[in-house]
Amino acid sequence: MNYNMPDEKGYFGKHGGRFVPETLMPALIELEKNFRLYIEDETFNRELTYYLKQYVGRESPLYFAERLTEHCGGAKIYLKREDLNHTGAHKINNALAQVLLTKRMGKNKIVAETGAGQHGVATATAAALFGMECTIFMGEEDIKRQRLNVFRMGLLGAKVESVTSGSKVLKDAVNEALKYWVTNLSDTHYIMGSALGPHPYPEMVREFQSVIGKETKQQIYEQEGQLPDTIIACVGGGSNAIGMFHPFIEDEGIELIAVEAAGKGVETSEHAATLTKGQYGVLHGNAMYLLQDDAGQVHEVYSMSAGLDYPGIGPEHCHLKDMGRLKYDSATDDEAVQAFKTLSELEGIIPALESAHAIAHGLKLAPTMEKGSILVINLSGRGDKDVHQISELLEVN
């Protein structure tokens, strides 16, 4: 299979595109031009590689989880340790690269949205490193459940704007960040944290995150002399998943599984399982599957994990689903909490609640796979930020 997406208009099949107010169009055209220029530029790439190695701590290990493997009694389980990156998640890969791009575009201010706060912290970090002014929009509800990250962003010198419109979560933070960008175009770059939004964001974020999959490919060859049978990643907007999956898309024998947040169950109204339940629609600058009502109003979605609490999903995931290249499943809050505990107890690794959804699916799938087969799970972030939320939950129970 030859895979080359998106097309020149930013489409992945029928998904993607650029559905934004006219005011933003010249900025997006300019951004695309710069992205194409610098992604091929040797100096830019040398600088990016330098910071990814010396500052972020890449490459991140591909760790053979021996006790987890024994526990499951099937496939050999490898964990891609994005949790060990500086700031604790994969988000820094993209934030750092976009800040370097911002510098080259001659802008000195950054705006971004955040859900769980991981992208906000990563962006505030990269902005601090390069002395840029940084404004982060975050839903009021998310601020409550992720206080630690709000505090971290403040320490890093970022201004956190509480979003009180709509359902006061990630989708509303994206709305407000876009409005802020429209009003401050001349000196401000918008760092979208997920692989979605108007073209070129889905492609650009994928490129900056695909370091995950590229490293994994090389590491699994080194350790096993072959490619994995199955790769699992959690998806909200889908940036860690597309970064992991993209380098493997043409390797058709490898099963790629995206795990969505089922919240209280996909049969209830409280979930965020967009690939499972969404319908074609347009939000935040791109066409994608979307959780919405019959009248085209965007649903309030639910997951206990703030980073997966989003009603859409990146356009490339939608297209990979349409192609039949991507499988998708979901994990409930309860399954994620169980996986959170299991990984902590068996491996001494406390995963982010988001990543715990991927682990939860791995725990179900690995025992059904043949002994000696290989399962890679992207451990997209660490769980320090979630410890408070989990401790409250366990006390209540």
Partner 1 sequence: MSATLMEQRIESLLNEGKKLFIPYVMCGDGGFEKTGDLIRVLESAGASIIEIGIPFSDPIADGPTIQAAGQRALDDGVTLKKILSFLKTLPPRHDVPRIIMTYLNPIVQYGLDAFFKELNDAYVSGVIIPDLPLEEYDMISSYTRDNDIAIIPLVAPSTTPDRIERMTDKAKGFIYTVTVNGTTGARQGFAEELTNRLESIKSQTNLPVVAGFGISTKEHIDLLTQHCDGVVVGSRIVELANDGDYESIKALVGSL
Please identify every residue annotated as catalytic: 91, 113, 380
Residue 46 binding partner 1, by CB under 8 A: no
Residue closer to partner 1 (CB basis): 248 or 310: 310
Please give the Cα distance from 395 to 387 (Å, whole number). Answer: 12
* 187 sits near partner 1 (criterion: CB under 8 A): no
Residue 109 binds to partner 1 (criterion: CB under 8 A): no
CA R_g for the chain: 19
- DSSP structural state of residue 236: S
Determine which residue in the list 279, 373, 391, 394 makes contact with partner 1, applying CB under 8 A: 279
154 contacts: CB under 8 Å, gap ≥ 6:
160
Min dist. Cβ of residue 191 to partner 1 (A): 17
Least separation in angstroms between residue 310's CB and partner 1 is: 12
Tokens of 70: 């024994």
Cβ–Cβ < 8 Å for 235, 258? yes
Interacting stretch for partner 1, rule CB under 8 A, among 57-65, 81-89, 163-171, 249-257?
163-171
Cross-strand bridge partners of residue 89? 381
Inter-residue contact 287 to 385 (CB < 8 Å): no
CB 49 within 8 A of CB 71: no
Comparing CB distances to partner 1, the nearer of 113 and 354 is: 113
- Given candidates 118, 149, 230, 292, which one binds partner 1 under the rule CB under 8 A? 292
* Exposure string over 4-15, b if 16+ CB within 10 A, otherwise e: ebbeeebbbbeb
Closer residue to partner 1, CB minimum distance, 283 or 359? 283
Q: Which of 36, 73, 159, 183 binds partner 1 (CB under 8 A)?
A: 183
- Number of residues this chain uses to bind partner 1 (CB under 8 A): 36
Interacting residues with partner 1 (CB under 8 A): 9, 17-27, 165-166, 171-172, 175, 178-179, 182-183, 185, 279-285, 290, 292, 294-298
